[in-house]
């Protein structure tokens, strides 16, 4: 799914979130509940009185369902990734990474109200809070900044799966 295509849809509807933030929200909702309802996610992206066209709803639903597929615990390949801008602009990527974390935190809070997070989840969520506070003034061509971004990106990819696994285990323990 092309970041720019989704961004244009969001701009048309004056979405309250940008693409990275919306993808973070969807990811968190699906980590909490693999059966999460795409319509709840869509409702959070636009104002109540705004109606999304069928074409755009199909595109956004496809993004949500693709995320669901990539987060499926039965998925044997590690193909999940954060939806970030397609370009090479490091500063834009850092801003989007921060926005993605903000969306993820919102989605977790929206979908799951645990006071004490299990296992590594609490530390991961604290890390995400810190990522939302990152200095977004980075220099293009600065190898240290680029390497730091790559490491954070990979950390978040793996962290999402840890959160998903821990939340599904805690839900299983409650259900039994």
- pLDDT tens digit at each of 176 positions of the chain: 689 999 999 999 888 899 999 999 999 999 999 999 999 999 888 887 888 899 999 999 999 999 999 998 887 777 899 999 988 889 999 999 999 999 999 999 887 666 667 789 999 999 999 999 988 788 777 888 899 999 999 999 999 999 999 987 765 444 43
Tell me the three state secondary structure of residue 93.
helix
* CATH (residue range 3-175): 1.20.120.740
Q: Name which of 5, 30, 7 is nearest 99 in CA terms.
A: 7
Look at residue 116 in the predicted model and tell me its pLDDT.
Answer: 66
The predicted structure's pLDDT at residue 161: 93
The CA distance from 21 to 7, in Å, is 11
How far apart are the C-alpha atoms of 54 and 66, rounded to whole Å? 18
- Quick one: pLDDT at residue 173? 42
Show me where the domains of the chain are located.
Answer: 3-175
Helix ranges, the chain (H): 3-12, 19-32, 38-45, 54-70, 90-111, 121-132, 143-175
């Amino acid at each position: 799914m092309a970041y720019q295509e989704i961004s244009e849809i969001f701009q048309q509807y004056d979405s309250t979130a940008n693409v990275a933030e919306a993808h973070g929200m969807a990811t968190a909702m699906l980590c909490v509940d693999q059966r999460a309802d795409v319509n709840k996610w869509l409702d959070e992206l636009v104002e109540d009185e705004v109606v999304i066209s069928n074409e755009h709803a199909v595109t956004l639903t496809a993004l949500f369902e693709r995320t669901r597929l990539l987060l499926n615990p039965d998925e044997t390949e590690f193909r999940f990734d954060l939806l970030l801008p397609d370009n090479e602009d490091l500063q834009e990527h850092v801003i989007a990474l921060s926005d993605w974390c903000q969306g993820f935190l919102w989605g977790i809070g929206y979908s799951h109200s645990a006071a004490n997070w299990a296992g590594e989840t609490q530390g991961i969520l604290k890390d995400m809070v810190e990522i939302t506070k990152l200095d977004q003034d980075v220099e293009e061509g600065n190898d240290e900044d680029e390497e730091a971004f790559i490491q954070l990106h990979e950390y978040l990819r793996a962290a999402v799966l840890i959160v998903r696994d821990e939340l599904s285990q805690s839900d299983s323990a409650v259900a039994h």
